[in-house]
Structure 1
Amino acid sequence: MRLHYRRKFNFLRRVLFILSIISLYLSRDSLKLHAKNALINPNTAEYHEGMIDDIQVLRCYHWYRQCGSLYAPRLHPSNTASKVKDKNNVLWSRVSKNITIEALYSLQSGAFYNSYLYVHPKGFQSNSRNSIKELAIARDSALIPLQVLRDINKMVKSSDSSVFHNHVYQREKPTSSWWKLLFGISVDSDDIAVFGEEWVYKGSGIWCKYVLNDDDSDPPIISLEIYLGSSFIESRPSWKEVMHEFHRNNIPSLPISITRKLKTKNNLHKASKRLTGPLKAPEKDNNILELLQVDGNYKITSPHIQFSRGQRSFKILQMTDFHFKCTDNSMSIINEIRTVNFIDRVLALENPDLVVITGDLLDSQNTIDYQTCIMKLVQPMISNKIPYAISLGVSDESNLATPSQVQDYIRNLPYTFNSVASEEGHIAIRVSFKKKLLKNTLLKRGINAKDETTPSEALFFVFDSFNPVNDFLLDYSNLIGKIDYGLAFQYFPLSEYRPHGLFPIIGQYNERSTLTVDTSRSKGEVSMTIDGKNYKSFLDILNLWNIKGVSCGHEHNNDCCLQSINEMWLCYGGSAGIDVARIEGIHPNVRLFNLDDIKDEITSWKRSSNLVDEVYDYQYIYKGKH
């Protein structure tokens, strides 16, 4: 009896051994691929920008050395019903996301892997032929994106029978069915038939178009970005969402949006004269973007605005303290949408020439994706084509990203003056009013031609509160005595914001305790020697450039302006975020400044989210003799 069982056992063992050898032989390609990714570290950077010629979703298994770049086969669609196999593995680069927890932007997760979006870079030196020029990603791989269906429908309706053929596209399986049998790992297999030459199916719901020849005038894709969170809106020129808020069923996390950028010509951008806001903007003699130097990527290249044709006023909108979180909390999402709507309404009503944001865009460690939060905040300005400058605050950090990543991202946004900021993060925006107004224009405005002043110069400083200003200000010492009007903005209040005794004040002043800000400038510890004379007061230093007012953020319950030395007004921008903690009775608000060269004055007022159509606390920051 024992001999009988022993024979059966030996027979089964031989069968299992043979099956194991067969399975290993059939899975040799997959085993080689897994071994290559597990043992070899290609040390190739993730994809940030550049033309691409292939794209797909790949799985990064937990035993791989890293997920930034992987070896995998190229995907080749066939023009028959059979699949063309490619045994050669090439190096793929994962689409970069500048946060430290990789699993947050995984498209799909399993027991042994996370799936990410990978591309095969074409390289900057290559021509655009065979590069991907358009992309569409479906939420479900069984569905065809609407953009693809529209294009296919146009082809089907065409009388030219040569424009379409029956194609079957199949996704190259990342692992064999034997690997699935041994380890129980599911393998996606997408087969989809479609009429049309242009769109190529890449599996996992991904469709793309290619630049087919040198005569193709369509620009190629040169960048892809991933954003986490709800209510993301792509507003940047040359950018377009290819997948909006994809909710991953097997990952209890934030939805994913993917957006792409097309290559633009390297000439100066000419903006349209009419802004494109939610309300029609009034006509202006000069559009700011037309006066700025903006490159082909819509980045400001010079901080100098030179008016022509008689423009003699300049309006600045100051916004501060938003504390965007961009989490999956429904109340936070609603409040952030309400905040953006408030900003949009103010821009439509006021049509400012410049927007200054004085800090606390983010909510520190509570913020998940800093890029989504920043994009959500600047979207109204980009959509309305209004330039803006940002001074970061103490909450503008994240445990998922470094401060330099936040700063670099802001510097590369369109229409921001941060692109021309100093190394310390300071910005100086100079405005030149070149020509006098014509006599008939003066009569229309009710101004006597004798009272019309000579052309003037204005200067607006936007300081980084955490870095010294000495070297930066010395670079602009040649403008001392040449500036007629000036304003300064920064995040922290100065020591002079806590005056003693009686002083003029307009607005609410609820936080009067000792300043807790630990910077030398806020403590008044600034010492500079200019033209042989030593100055120890920061306000005295600013007075050299004829700065008439300084405005800050940081304190949510203060929205006043109080007058200090040199008749200089020190103002608060209030707090614009709907979700910001503040005392009862105070509503989110923004502050505006208007410089009028003809009237020789600077005025300020505020708008509140409670009654956004009304202005309040209208006051003079500076009133000249004219």
Structure 2
Amino acid sequence: MTRRIVRTVSQLTAAAVFTFLIVFLLDRNFRLLPNAVHEYMPQHHHGLVVTDITITTCSKINLFSSCKLDPESWHRVEKNLYLDKSWVSSAYVHVQRKKEEELVSDDKVVVGVTVGRLDPATGGKGKTDEKWESRPAGLWVLRSSKPTASDSKKAVTAIDILFGDDAVEARDGWQLQNIALLLDAGHDIPSAHITVRQGTQVEPIRPQPRVNDNGKFKIMQLADLHLSTGVGHCRDPVPEKIEGEDCMADLRTLHFVTTLLDDEKPDLVVLSGDQVNGDSAPDAQSAIFKYAQLLIKRKIPYVSIFGNHDDEGALPRPAQMALIEQLPYSLSVAGPDDIDGVGNYYIEVLAQGTSKHSALTVYLLDSHSYSPDERQWSGYDWIKKNQIDWFRQTSEGLKKKHKEYTHIHMDVAFIHIPLPEYRDATSPYVGEWREGVTAPKFNSGFRDALVEQGVVMVSCGHDHANEYCMLSSNKESKKPELWMCYGGGAGFGGYGGYGGFVRRVRFFDIDMNEARITTYKRLEHGDTSGRIDQQIIVDGGNVVPPKKHS
């Protein structure tokens, strides 16, 4: 446990003070305790209204300068507005809060927040009879002296900060201020934007995935988006420019994803790790909201697991999952507390119509990050025995219920880091094998557990330029047992290379009428309208070999 805390703390930047607090508020299973989550996410304080907001700025070189206010009166949002990228200054947003039932006649409640150089009452943003109060960094606050205003939808109940000119708000009931706070930050520091919630917290929508009436269900796997705080920096873009414009990583990645969402209209999106581009995302929340907003807007349910880069910035996995769990249309969960990792869970896709029977089970497991024993097993971590035991027990426990489905029930799985068996050069595969397989050197036996429990397909990410599906068969009988696929790297913030790799996304088109799974990929550039490497990998519920091309 001590090693795990030290390893996590070593990844943090000096400015991410709040993360240190989070780390030391983890339980014995390295999960964020509820109180720690609440300290980071003030939106979870039910029944509180904001009575005032201000911003403090302090100097890093002046020992007598402080960004702290009286903690008895003020709650500090633990996000440095300079993201620790300024050598000279730090700045923080502070809020005063009070329980609604404790408001008295002299109390004021914040009912409006905006940012700008001009008084909103005279600058066209507000009514001329409104009295907006000026705060530092161009922040303006409108407060009502009537405590009854706290009962209205206008009362501000939570404050947060997002970063970057491309920042978006993904939570219901929240409104992002498009104008950034007026700070003396340099061009290399992502702009800070206030976002507020007015009224009570809205419970996120969590739809139950269901096979369509025609018996079809489509899964879109988004592998290795590598989103940053701000627009990010492109790595190995192909081509370098589109329509003469320089590549901006996140904008190009999200445009690609948006195009495919609208073209393919998936029923479920699986985010298979490295959604966040490590230390290029000092505010992981801003990066997460960018992909989430696209899915929420289209009412597409999604699940996510973590890769080795997601928590290399300022926010560890437990805190990231706590955020993701509270987003609309997210079906992601942290999973059992008593096994390794964050994000070991499954979801059921129900049969068409009003059936209550599962037609498809999707397993998701945390494949962790780097090896805990570099001396003996250098490289990447592996799925642990207690995770495999959990998977076996869960699968066995579901079999009786799954047999109630009148058609053929199927199981699929997603991880981030490939299994050691992905290295088997003697196995047939469809797609491109461009780079070395960076699977763990220790084989914990998860492939065999998948076969034992009848899972027909597992798909990963991690190796961006590998995008093949490999058939894993029984060594003695040669019977096909499992398809092992790569999603293909989609994000321009991660590496490409290897002979001009065009970003791509993998789909799984599932036909429950025939118990058939067809997989294919779509490209970001070149033949963008067609499917490439389309193949049937499961038919009649059985793993089938690839067809030989003439």
Scaled by the length of structure 1, what TM-score is found? 0.64
Task: Find the counterpart in structure 1 of residue 42 from structure 2.
Answer: 48
Whether 2:199 is the aligned partner of 1:263: answer yes
SS at match of 1:122: strand
The CA distance in 2 between the partners of 1:136 and 1:233, in whole Å, is 17
1:58 is displaced (CA, Å) by 3.6
User: In structure 2, how many angstroms separate the alpha carbons of the residues matched to 1:511 and 1:110?
Assistant: 39
- Report the alpha carbon displacement of residue 330 of structure 1 after superposing the two structures with TM: 6.7
- Would you say the 8 A contact 2:58–2:65 is kept in 1? no
Q: Alpha carbons of 1:394 and 1:151: their partners in 2 closer, same or farther (altered >3 Å)?
A: same
Distance 1:585 1:47 in 2: 42
Summarize the Cα distance change of 1:207–1:497 in structure 2 as closer, same or farther, 3 Å threshold.
same
Distance 1:516 1:472, change over 3 A: closer
Distance 1:47 1:66 in 2: 23
1:239 equivalent in alignment to 2:171:
no
Greater Cα radius of gyration, structure 1 or 2: 1
Judge conservation of contact 1:233–1:379 (CA < 8 Å) in 2. yes
Kept in 1, the 8 Å contact 2:52–2:110? The answer is no
Counterpart residue number, 2:116: 139
Identical positions, percent: 24
**RMSD over equivalenced CA pairs, Å:** 3.6
Cα 1:508–1:329 shift into 2, 3 Å: closer
Residues 1:103 and 1:431: Cα distance change in structure 2 (over 3 Å): closer
Q: 2:157 aligns with which of 219, 222, 230?
A: 222
Amino acid at match of 1:475: T
Deviations 1:459-513 (A, max 9, x none): 0011111253134322342112626112110001112212243x33211112345
Point out which structure has higher relative CO (alpha carbons under 8 A, 6+ apart): 2
CA offset at residue 60 of structure 1? 4.8
C-alpha distance in structure 1 between counterparts of 2:422 and 2:254, whole Å: 29
Query: For the residues of structure 2 that align with 1:506 and 1:106, how far apart are their CA atoms?
Result: 46
Asked if 1:347 is matched to 2:279, the reply is no
Matches within 5 A, 1:197-596: 197=130, 200-204=132-136, 205-210=139-144, 212=146, 214=148, 217-218=152-153, 220-246=155-181, 248-249=183-184, 251=186, 253-264=189-200, 296-298=202-204, 300=206, 305=209, 310=213, 312-326=215-229, 334-419=248-333, 421-423=335-337, 424=341, 425-433=343-351, 435=353, 457-466=359-368, 468=384, 469-473=387-391, 474-480=393-399, 482=402, 484-501=409-426, 503-512=427-436, 515-518=438-441, 520=442, 523=443, 525-526=444-445, 538-565=446-473, 566-582=480-496, 583-596=498-511
Could you give the per-residue CA deviations for residues 337-377 of structure 1, whole angstroms, max 9, x where no partner exists? 01011111111111111111111122323333222222223
| Structure 2 letter corresponding to 1:463 | L
Residue equivalent to 2:67: 67
Tell me the number of residue pairs that the alignment of Structure 1 and Structure 2 aligns.
Answer: 448
Local SS of the residue matching 1:511: coil
Unpaired runs of 5+ residues, structure 1, are 1-43, 72-89, 153-194, 266-295, 438-453, 527-537
> CA 1:433–1:588 in 2, change beyond 3 Å: closer, same or farther?
same
Q: In 2, are the aligned partners of 1:551 and 1:570 still within 8 Å (CA)?
A: yes
* Cα separation, 2, equivalents of 1:331 and 1:412: 30
Counterpart Cα distance in 2 of 1:350 and 1:238 = 29
Indicate the larger mover: 398-407 or 563-572. Answer: 398-407
Q: How does 1:85-104 map to 2 (within 5 A)?
A: 91-97=73-79, 102=80, 104=82
- How many angstroms apart in 2 are the aligned matches of 1:312 and 1:211? 58
Report the 3-state secondary structure (helix = DSSP H, G, I; strand = E; otherwise coil) of the residue aligned with 1:547.
coil
Aligned residues of 2:121 and 2:132 also touching (Cα < 8 A): no
Unpaired stretches in structure 2, ≥5 consecutive residues? 1-37, 236-246, 369-382, 404-408, 474-479, 543-550
Q: 1:106 to 1:133 in 2, by over 3 A?
A: farther
With over 3 angstroms needed to count, the CA separation of the structure-2 counterparts of 1:126 and 1:561, relative to structure 1, is farther
Cα distance in structure 1, aligned partners of 2:323 and 2:304: 12
For 1:134 and 1:249, how far apart are their aligned partners in 2?
A: 27
Aligned partners of 2:163 and 2:192 also within 8 Å: yes
Deviates more, 1:317-326 or 1:44-53: 44-53
Does the 8 Å CA contact 2:277/2:494 hold for their aligned counterparts? Answer: no
Report the equivalent of 2:241. Answer: none
| Distance 1:249-1:500 versus aligned 2 partners, 3 A rule | closer
Any idea what the Cα deviations from partners look like across 1:367-388, whole Å, max 9, x if unmatched? 3322222222322112212111
